[in-house]
A and B are shown apart, each in its own frame.
Chain A
Amino acid sequence: MSVVAIEHLQLALSGNQVLREVSFSLEEGECRALVGESGSGKSLTAMCLLGLAPPNAVLNAEQFSVMGQPLPAQGHRDWRGWRGRRIAMIFQNPMTALSPTRTIGAQLSECFRLHRNMDRRQARAESAALLERLAIPRAEQRLSQYPFEFSGGMLQRVMIALAVACRPKLLIADEPTTALDVTVQAEVLALLRELQHEQGTSLLFISHDLGVVANIADTVSVMYAGETVESASVASLLRHPAHPYSEALQAAMPRLHSREITVAIPGSPPDMRGTIQGCAFAPRCKHRMAICEDSPPLLISPRGAGVRCWRWHPDYPERWRLQHD
């Protein structure tokens, strides 16, 4: 049973179709990265998984379930047992994601008390143990400190502690290292991976950084203009990107020991306020064909993965596909 199964997820915000076609699944213990540029709908997809889409959102999906259970409607009461307990999230900027006027201990032990019915003392002991497990020195004393007394890296550890406190089945990490120093990034990533293996959690890792993704994820879904355009294993996506957008992303990745100049993707993402006809990436695509402008591409599965591009259609000239295999 997949931990997350999303099929044909659509979401409109005041009439604008911002998520047009999101489909992916996440198996137990798997780490799937959600990759794409800002505005592609990565974070919004994550918010939907927590029932926290904006109140004016209209959501539609063929399948939208976690651990085999369909998720409640956005903003509904029934989310109570899900958020923080079965699904948890790590936010991008740890500096702003903690209430500045409450101690770390108060915010952390609150999770234990709320979701695991512990009493005050138990929750505090558990909090200290967890911080210690996450390599925060002097955990006991740090519990009575406020967020402003922590460094960014330490705070992100606290955020991770808050998220894993109740051993959720699904952990969503929304660019958890973007706001951190490069030296701290690696530590936080290592910690996340370690915890994921230890707890058997499934991790949905949102990022725009393919380098980070290569480091942590097993599988990748590439998002473009509210659509998952390609899903594949990390290795195959990095070596043989099937979708022209994935290809362009991969080419835009800076490389060490290479004299190749990174290539920026020409053009800009489509305006989500209008309806998009055909393939959303067509205007920026160098392999554009007549059909791309008329009909949206179907999901085609070469090699068991999924790609939404006419070039992978069985009727497309054989020589192209060969070149990519």
Chain B
Amino acid sequence: MMIKFVLHRLLWGAITVWFIATATFFAMHAVPGDPLIQDKAMSPVVRAQLEARYGLDKPLSQQYFTFIGNMINGDFGISFTQENRRVNDIIREHFPVSATLGIAAIAIALVGGVLAGSIAAHYRGQWPDKLVMFMVVAAISVPGFVIAGLAQLIIVKLNSAAESTVLPVAGWGGVNHVWVPALVLGLGTLAYLSRLSRAAMLEVLSSDYILAARARGISGVSLFFRYQLRNALLPVVTELGPAVAAITTGGFVVELIFAIPGLGRYFVQAVQQLDYTVIMGTTVFYGAFLVVIVVLVDISYGLIDPRIRLSAGRS
């Protein structure tokens, strides 16, 4: 049953990815200009040679089928702007950086959000609740790039006050490079998840089974983890798919501000320079990645809530 469900979802995922690829391909080619337009003027002969080399002289439909054929073989071709660099290599080298940042951000958002939401729910109407809700509104309202800038400013002040490098302001390398950008990246999601888990937790707290569990003498840590958290977690898990998407796209901006050599930076650059192969490669890759994440999230529902039985017909 489970295998059938996963295969079914993956098949639909493949169709989704094909659709993303096709739409992006034609949209990209509809944008005026092409990757060979540069600052310097180019002689028609050189231009014709380059076009022939990259296959841009062929009709668009033929270019499309060539691209799809290569894509199925897992080959996205060579970058236009970074000579002789294969798109596959770019993804292979830089995606792990983005993934590290993203996983850290998701982890911070999930743990922080559920914790903050649970605290707010347990102290409903009292100061911890008001504090959490105020922070949530602030974190949702202030855009990520402002928070990123503020975070860097705070680090600079901190470092100069300590007269040493407590935390690096930007760049990539050690564990210390991850915390701040991951927090900035995950903050919006964290805020959203705290609201969600607060509402879910409030519902759980007022339920009969919590009262019944307390009447059986269950209290403290086991009451929280076994009864309250487990039941409050389901709506949060439902939102994890969209949360991953938000953090993936948010990663582009955060990577630029913190000068992190992740895939997001290449994605943004490629769009600006109309680097056809890199655009296609990164888009299709992110599309496929999100499809897999959504399937994983769907599977995790069944692990958390036994009432949800995975069936192939569900989508």
User: What is the interface of chain A, defined by CB distance below 8 A to chain B?
Assistant: 50, 52, 79-80, 82-85, 88-89, 91, 93, 96-103, 106, 110-111, 114-115, 146, 148, 159, 162-163
Contacts and interface: CB of A to CB of B under 8 A. Distances in A.
Contact of A114 (B208, B211, B214, B218): B218
Given A80-B219, A84-B216, A115-B217, A148 B227 contact: no
A146 B215 contact: no
10 contacts: A80-B219, A83-B217, A88-B216, A91-B211, A93-B208, A96-B207, A97-B208, A99-B231, A101-B304, A101-B306
B27 to A, nearest CB: 44
A111 B208 contact: no
Given A50-B215, A79-B217, A80-B217, 14 more contacts: A50-B214, A85-B217, A88-B216, A89-B212, A89-B215, A99-B230, A101-B234, A101-B306, A114-B216, A114-B218, A115-B217, A146-B307, A159-B212, A163-B216
A148 B306 contact: yes
Contacts of B307: 100, 146, 148
A99 B209 contact: yes
A176 B217 CA distance: 20
Contact of A98 (B212, B218, B234): B212
Contacts of A79: 217
Of A50, A101, A114, A146, most B-chain CB atoms within 10 Å = A101
B158 interface: no
A110 B307 CA distance: 21
Contacts of B214: 50, 52, 83
B226 interface: yes
A100 B217 CA distance: 19
The 9 closest A-B pairs by CB, nearest first: A84-B217, A84-B216, A83-B217, A96-B208, A97-B212, A146-B306, A97-B208, A89-B215, A99-B209
A91 B306 CA distance: 23
Nearest to B217: A84
B111 interface: no
A207 B198 CA distance: 35
Contacts of A106: 226
Contacts of B306: 100-101, 103, 146, 148
Interface in B193-227: 207-209, 211-219, 222, 226-227
Contact of B209 (A98, A110, A146): A98
Interface of B: 207-209, 211-219, 222, 226-227, 230-231, 234, 304-307
A114 B217 contact: yes
Contacts of B209: 96-100
B22 to A, nearest CB: 41
A99 B227 contact: yes
B216 A100 contact: no
B226 A102 contact: yes
Contact of A84 (B207, B215, B222, B226): B215
Nearest to B207: A96
A102 B233 CA distance: 13
A100 B212 contact: no
A50 to B, nearest CB: 5
A8 to B, nearest CB: 25
Contact of A99 (B213, B217, B219, B304): B213
A101 B231 contact: yes
Nearest to A146: B306
Contacts of B217: 79-80, 82-85, 111, 114-115
Contacts of A50: 214-215
Of B231, B305, B306, most A-chain CB atoms within 10 Å = B306
Contacts of A91: 208, 211-212, 215
Contact of B230 (A85, A102, A146, A159): A102
Of B208, B209, B215, B226, most A-chain CB atoms within 10 Å = B215
Nearest to B211: A52
B231 A162 contact: no
B218 A84 contact: yes
Contacts of A84: 215-218
B194 to A, nearest CB: 21
A101 B234 CA distance: 10
A246 B83 CA distance: 95
B230 A101 contact: yes
A115 B218 CA distance: 10
A138 B24 CA distance: 58
Nearest to A99: B209
Contacts of A163: 216
Contacts of B207: 96
Contacts of B216: 83-84, 88, 110-111, 114, 162-163
